[in-house]
Structure 1
Amino acid sequence: MRRWLYGLSGLAAAALWSQAAPNAQPANAPPEEVDVALVLAVDISYSMDLDELALQRNGYIEAFRSKPLQDAISNGAIGKIAVTYFEWAGGNFQHIVRPWKIIDGPAAANAFAEELGEAPTRRGRRTSISGAIDLGVQLLEQSNVTAMRRVIDISGDGANNDGRPVTAARDEAGAKGIAINGLPVMLKQAGYFDIDNLDVYYKDCVVTGIGAFVIPIREKHQFVEATRTKLLREIAAVPPDATVQKAQAGDPSTCLAGERQWRDRMGN
């Protein structure tokens, strides 16, 4: 199944997973109530080197293994969350690593982490944050859960340069009551398609919803802590004034910066 999905667009892959994913709920099963339905959308474009990809994946693995995160899930009003994890690059390169899974305690959280650790690493060209948001919205609509909150969690190291404008996807998701939070990876800014102040770009152009936030990663050692902090905030619904590393001050971002950069350097 995963080999089939590798060559499909994200939306087609999502449809196949909804029909044939192992451990999926029957189509006629009543929706399960959860505190939050959480989509983890992770950048695997070529601008991320192999070391960064490993650190990024490990951040999620260690977060779900951690007692604070497991306690946050158990202490929710319902005590369960639904989570899915997919990786993305350009608009036609999206891969669902783990379809929807209910996490209702340490055993399920550890199993989810184990599944992420066993999955192979993939890479793709271009960067379509808009495509990732659109797939995240579709996955939420196919989740067959009743969630108190619905969240798309975007991590990546560049601006949107493929697919439709990121603000169009963001605004449509926001209009459906879906929150989007960001984890911009800012380890290096000397690459061909890097932009200055990626955290500000995420703040101005990507995130949306009440209490939406951005937690930038500027050093390799921050991956695990930043990822765990982000997930804790999303799962526990921490108030908007919680202690979170703020985006750098600066002028509002140009939300078509990635598209213009690609056009200027590649000519299309």
Structure 2
Amino acid sequence: MLRRSLLAAGGVLAGATLVPPRPRAEEPVDVLLVLAVDVSRSVDEDEAKLQREGYRTAMTDPRIVEAVQGGMIGAIAVTYMEWAGAEYQRQVLPWMRLTGGRDADRWASALAEAPRASLSWTSISGALAFGTELLDQAPFEAARRVIDVSGDGVNNSGPPAEQARDAAVAKGIVINGLPIMNDRPSFNRRHSLPLDQYYADSVIGGPGAFLVAADDFDSFGAAIRRKLIREIAGRSGPRMERA
């Protein structure tokens, strides 16, 4: 299994395309958004394609672009990371500032070209801790900082998810969730709670935190669109939704 490498001075991780270090900028955005995506082995190749395509089509959706442009600043900054067990988190796309449809198209094209890995186990705690590091090193400034974590299983590697969640929330970060309800046990380990309730109890946190549950990978695209609109626009709503 690949070991995790930490970000250094705005660069990206071993296993991802390297970019030159960037100084911390004063350029503001409405929200800093980490998209944290499960690539554990419970996610097969077809499901992984649906997952990535869901993010690509969502980000270029005119409703998402409208939400971006409707903010006070009219810009957001997004980074895309993938995670599996406690020793694997990877920043796939560096921080990018999006202000409209052209930026969204560039982001979607970059994601389509990025390589994908699949590793064992599911460490939501590792994903949240790494997402927090990415936010701390973001080259933009924002009043709102959000980790958007999606996955199809419970934490079964590394520290408890609650520990990483509480540490992130203490730093003013909001964690929202997108549990994928595919009823597939992760390495034959079932949990006593439905996955959406587990995310509600153990994963999401911070002011206005919420989750949108997808019934399966086929409904993932609709779920991420609904979720991104609410996150980007900063809208209030129910704590738990279903796509």
Fold shared by both chains (TM-score > 0.5) = yes
Question: Match of 1:236?
Answer: 233
Shift of 1:171: 0.5
1:211 paired residue among 200, 208, 213: 208
Shift of 1:8: 4.5
Alpha carbons of structure 1 residues 92 and 65: separation in structure 2 relative to 1, 3 Å: same
For residue 211 of structure 2, what is the amino acid of its counterpart? V
1:49 paired residue among 38, 44, 48: 44
Alpha carbons of structure 1 residues 162 and 241: separation in structure 2 relative to 1, 3 Å: closer
Shift of 1:16: 6.6
1:134 paired residue among 124, 129, 132: 129
Cα RMSD (Å): 2.2
2:31 paired residue among 36, 42, 51: 36
Question: Match of 1:245?
Answer: 241
User: Structure 1 residue 184 and structure 2 residue 182: aligned?
Assistant: no
1:97 paired residue among 92, 98, 119: 92
- Secondary structure class of the residue paired with 1:153: strand
CA distance in 1, matches of 2:8, 2:2: 14
User: Structure 1 residue 147 and structure 2 residue 142: aligned?
Assistant: yes
Shift of 1:7: 4.2
Alpha carbons of structure 1 residues 30 and 117: separation in structure 2 relative to 1, 3 Å: closer
Does the 8 Å CA contact 1:158/1:193 hold for their aligned counterparts?
no
CA distance in 1, matches of 2:238, 2:55: 24
User: Structure 1 residue 227 and structure 2 residue 224: aligned?
Assistant: yes
Q: Give deviations 1:193-237, integer Å, cap 9, x for gaps.
A: 343401000000000011111111113431111011111111000
Alignment gaps of 5+ in structure 2: none
1:84 paired residue among 79, 88, 92: 79
1:15 paired residue among 8, 21, 25: 8
CA distance in 2, matches of 1:146, 1:190: 39
Which deviates more, 14-23 or 33-42?
14-23
CA distance in 2, matches of 1:23, 1:77: 30
Question: Match of 2:194?
Answer: 197
- Secondary structure class of the residue paired with 1:69: helix
CA distance in 2, matches of 1:181, 1:132: 13
- Counterparts of residues 113-128 of structure 1 (less than 5 Å): 113-128=108-123
For residue 77 of structure 2, what is the amino acid of its counterpart? A
CA distance in 2, matches of 1:220, 1:131: 23
- Secondary structure class of the residue paired with 1:164: coil
Question: Match of 1:162?
Answer: 157
Shift of 1:17: 5.0
- Secondary structure class of the residue paired with 1:120: coil
- Normalising by the residue count of structure 1, what TM-score does the alignment of the two structures yield? 0.82
Shift of 1:82: 0.6
- Normalising by the residue count of structure 2, what TM-score does the alignment of the two structures yield? 0.90
Alpha carbons of structure 1 residues 220 and 165: separation in structure 2 relative to 1, 3 Å: closer
- Secondary structure class of the residue paired with 1:15: coil
CA distance in 2, matches of 1:75, 1:66: 14
Question: Which protein has the larger Cα radius of gyration, Structure 1 or Structure 2?
Answer: 1
Alignment: residue pair count: 237
- Secondary structure class of the residue paired with 1:85: strand
For residue 210 of structure 2, what is the amino acid of its counterpart? F
Does the 8 Å CA contact 1:35/1:76 hold for their aligned counterparts?
yes
Shift of 1:152: 0.2
Richer in helix (by share): 1
